[in-house]
Amino acid sequence: MTRAIELAGVWKFFGDYAALRDLTLNVEEGSCCALLGRNGAGKTTLLRILAGLSSFEKGKAQIFGDSPRKGWPGYLGHGIGVYEDLSARENLRFFARLSEVAEPNQAVEKWLERVDLKSAADMLVRQFSRGMRQRLALARTFLHTPKVLLLDEPFTSLDDRAITMLSELLVESRNRGATIVLSTHQLREALAIASHVALVENGRLRHTGERTSEMLDDPGLLYRLYS
C-alpha cells in the first residue's frame, strides 16, 4: 500500500504558540481517515497544511511524495467556496477550467445533474437556498475527481438530503481509490465511512489506528478514553 499522505514531526507555530506539536500521521492510499478532536485541537490547521493553504515551521508533509502546495485535492473548508454573483453553471465552469478538467462543459452538466441543481443552473448563487448552496459546494469539491479529499467538518449544518448525497459521494470516491481525510463532530456519519481514525488534542496526535466496530457502536468511545 502506498502512503498517500505523510506527515512527519510537523510543528506549526502562530508566533510562539504551537498549534501542532511534533505531529506524525500516515494515511494509506484509498483509506478514509476521520480526524477527531475538540475545537481548537488543531484539526483545521492540519487540514489547511495538507491543502497547501498554510505553511509549517518544522517537519515534513507530503502528498504522494510531493509538496502539498502542488496538489489538487478536493477541499471543502468552512465556507462553501462559490461566488454569489455567478450562476451555478458559471461557478462550476470556472472551477472546471481552473482545475483543467477534461471536457469541462460536459463535466459541469454531469455534476449539476448529480447534485440535482440542473433546473437551477442559471440562477445566481445569491438566490439559492441553503440546501442548494451546500449541494453546489459538494459539486465544486468533487468536480475534478480528486485523488485526495480534504474535508473540514463537512457534515456540519447539512440538511438530510445533502448528508445522504455527501455520504454517497464519499463511498463512491473510496471505491475508486481516493484518499480521504475528514474532520468531524458528526461522529456517526463519519465513522460509518471511515476506515481509520486519528484523535488530535492540543496539537498532538493522541491516538491513531483503524476504525473498530466498538467505535461504530459507541461513537464517543475515543473521547472518553483519552480525556
Partner 1 sequence: MREKVAIGSAVAAAGLLTYNLYRMFMVLPDEALQGAIYRILFFHAPAALVGMVGYFVALTFSILYLSSKNFLYDSLAASLVEVSLVFSVVNIVTGSIWARIIWGIWWTWDYRLTSALVCILIFFGYLIMRRAIDEPTQRARLSAALCIFGCVDVVIVYKSIEWFRNQHPGPVLDFRTGGGHMDPAMQTVFGLSFLAILLIALSLVLIRTRQEALAREIDSLRRLAHTAA
Partner 2 sequence: MRALLVARKDLAVELRTKESLNAAGAFAVVILLLFSFAFDPGPEMIHEIGGGLLWLVFVFAGALVFNRGFARELPNDCLDTLLVSPLSAADLILGKAISNFLLLVVVELISLFVFGIFYSVRWAVRPWELALLFLLATWGISILGSVFGALTVNLRLRELMVPVIIYPLLIPLLIATIELTNLLLTNQPLTASDFLWVKIIVVFDLVFTALAVLLADTILVG
**Contacts to partner 1 by CB under 8 A:** 13-17, 40, 57, 202
End-to-end CA distance of the chain, in Å?
33
Q: Which is nearer to partner 2, 82 or 215 (CB)?
A: 82
Report the partner that residue 10 touches, choosing among partner 2, partner 1, none (CB closer than 5 to 8 A by kind): none
Q: Which helix (H) or strand (E) holds 35?
A: strand 32-36
> Taking the complex as a whole, how short is the minimal distance between the CB of residue 64 and partner 2, in angstroms?
15
Residue type, 59: G
Residue 72 binding target from partner 2, partner 1, none, CB below 5 to 8 Å by type: partner 2
Cross-strand partners of 198 = 35, 208
Instruction: With CB under 8 A as the rule, give the number of residues binding partner 2.
Output: 27
C-alpha angle 106-107-112 in degrees, rounded to nearest 5: 100
How many other C-beta atoms lie within 10 A of the C-beta of residue 202? Answer: 14
For 223, phi then psi, to 5°, come to: -60, -40
For residue 187, the minimal CB distance to partner 2 (Å) is 24
Helix (H) or strand (E) holding 182: strand 179-183
What is the smallest separation between the CB atom of 131 and partner 1, expressed in angstroms?
Answer: 34
Q: Which stretch binds partner 2 (CB under 8 A): 23-31, 34-42, 79-87, 207-215?
A: 79-87
Residue 140 within binding range of partner 2, rule CB under 8 A: yes
Decide: 28 and 46 in contact? Cβ < 8 Å: no
- Decide whether 13 or 226 has the Cβ nearer to partner 1: 13
Stretch binding partner 2 (CB under 8 A), from 66-74, 107-115, 163-171, 187-195: 66-74
Helices (H), 58-211: 88-98, 104-114, 130-142, 160-175, 187-193
Pick what 161 binds: partner 2, partner 1, none; C-beta below 5 to 8 Å, kind-dependent. Answer: none
**Minimum distance of partner 2 from residue 91's CB (angstroms):** 9
Strand 32-36: give its sheet, edge to edge: 74-76, 148-152, 179-183, 32-36, 196-201, 204-210
Which of the listed partners (partner 1, partner 2, none) does 78 bind, with a CB threshold of 5 to 8 Å by partner kind? partner 2
Contact pick of 39, 65, 66, 85 for partner 2 (by CB under 8 A):
85
Q: What is the β-pairing status of strands 17-28 and 148-152?
A: unpaired
- Binding footprint of partner 2 on the chain (CB under 8 A): 51-55, 69, 72-73, 75, 77-86, 90, 94-95, 97-100, 140
